[in-house]
Amino acid sequence: MTQTAQHEADWDMQRLHDLAQQVLEEARRGGATAAEVAVNRSHGYSATVRMGEVETVEHNRDKNLVVSVYFGNQTGSASSSDFAAAAVADTVRAACSIAKYTAADRCAGLADPARLAREPMDLDLYHPWSIDVAAAIELARACEGAALDSDPRLVNSEGATVASHSGTEVYANSSGFAGDSAGTRHSISCAVVGEQDGAMQRDYWYSAARDPHELEDAALVGAAAAKRTLRRLGARKMPTRQCPVLYEAPVAASLLSHFTAAVRGSSLYRKASFLLDRLQQPIFSEGVRIYEQPHLPKAVGSAWFDNEGVATRDRDLVTQGVLQSYVLDTYSGCKLGMESTGNAGGARNLTIEPGPLGLAELLRELGTGLLVTELIGSGVNLVTGDYSRGAVGFWVENGEIQYPVEEITVAGNLPRMFQDIAAVGNDLDTRRNIRTGSILLNNLTVAGS
C-alpha cells in the first residue's frame, strides 16, 4: 500500500469514528439507555468486455449509517446515507421514536461488555489497486481473448470483468467499544460459450483476492474458463440411479452453507432447523472437522470483532463429526439461554479440514459415480433437511471421467448426507468465506431420464 493510500484510509477512518461518536451522543441526549452504530463508506468500479468491446463500466461510491437505540428492553433502528449533521440527528430521533412504540423484549440490548474485543489486530485486509479503468479494460480484453482464442468451438462470450472495491467501516456502542476495519477485494472473471453439433454449453472461472498481486494472471483465468466450457461439450442425460457423488471444491462450499444455516441462532430459536438440540451429538462422519479462523491474514472473512463488537476467535464447530457449538449473536444466544459465540454477521473463514487426496485421487476413490461441477436452484428445506438441486457434471467410471452430463437432479437428506461424507480433498478453494476442498459422499439419488 502506498503512503498516500494509507493516509487517505486513516483520514477517512477518523471521520467515521467522529461520526459514530456524534451518533452515540445524539442517542444519549434523546434519552436512550444504550445505543450502537455502524458507519461505512465504500467505493470501487468494474469494467466488463464482451467479444472484445467494452460493454459496461460501472463506478460506485456508497455510504451508510445504521443506528439502534435501546430504552430498557425496547429497541428502534434507523439508517441514513446522508452524513450531514442535521440528517444524522433526524436519523437518531427516528430510531428513538420507533423504540417507544415497540414491545419490550428481554433479549434486546448490547453485547456483554466483558465479551467485547479490546485488542485491535492488523489482519492485512487493505490493499488498494492502482490500476485505472483503461488498464482494467485491457486486462479484461486479455482475459477474454485468452479464452476465445484457445479453441474454434468457443463461439461466444458472456464477458470478462475486472473489478476493484475498497471500504472502511466503524462500529461503536455506548459500552465504550469503538472498532474499525478497512478492506479491499479485487477480481478477474470470465465466462464463455462453446458449440458442438448444434448444442451450446457455457462455464466460467474467476480469481479473487484482497491483494491484487495475489490475483491469477488474466490469461490463466481466461484459459481456465475456456477449458471448463470445452469439457462440457457433448453433455447428455443419464438414467436415474443411486451412486457416490463427488462435489468439486467450488460447489462443495454449498454443503457447508446449509450446515451453517442450520446452526445459526435465528434458525434454532425459531425451531426451523434440522439440527435443533443436536449439540454434542455426531452429525457428520467421524473424521470431519469444521472450524472458524477469523484472524487469517488477507482472508475474505477475517475480522477481529463481530458486528456487535464481540471478540472473534478460532474455534471448532465440529470435531470428529460431533457438533460442538452453534453460530450465535447476542440476541439469539439470549433466546437459547446461551452466550454469543462472536458470530453476529455469521461465521468467518469457515473451513472443513482437508484430507490428503487431490481431485484426481478422489475420482479414483469415487470409482463409478457422479462428479458435480455446478448446482442449479435452491431446493433445500432447513426444517427437515430434505435436499434436491439441479446439477451439471460428469459421469465417472473406474475413476476416469467418461462424459459430461446435464439435466439431472441430486437429492437426499442433509443429516444423512453429512454422515455419508467419505473424504474431503486437499484442493482447498480459498476465494470465499467458506473454505473447502472437493467433498465425496458415499451415496445420493441422481435423477435423470
The single residue listed with the C-alpha cell 451522543 is 25
Q: Which CATH class is domain 3-230?
A: alpha beta
Residue type, 95: A
Mean pLDDT of 113-138: 96
pLDDT at 12: 82
From CA 366, how far away is CA 17, in angstroms rounded?
A: 54
Q: Average pLDDT of the chain?
A: 96
From CA 84, how far away is CA 82, in angstroms rounded?
A: 6
Task: Evaluate if residue 389 carries a pLDDT over 90.
Answer: yes
Mean pLDDT of 389-410: 96
Which whole-number Å values give the CA distances from 112 to 75, 167, 266, 308, 380, in the listed order?
17, 28, 19, 10, 35
Which SS3 state, helix, strand or coil, does residue 243 take? strand
**What's the predicted TM-score (pTM) here?**
0.94
- Over the stretch 348-370, which tens digit does the pLDDT of each residue have? 999 999 999 999 999 999 999 99
The single residue listed with the C-alpha cell 455419508 is 420
pLDDT at 72: 95
Domain segments of the chain: what residues?
Answer: 3-230, 241-447
- With beta carbons less than 8 A apart as the criterion, state whether 1 and 127 touch: yes
Mean pLDDT of 296-308: 98
pLDDT-derived band at 449 (thresholds 50, 70, 90) equals confident
Mean pLDDT of 52-58: 97
Task: Evaluate if residue 8 carries a pLDDT over 80.
Answer: no
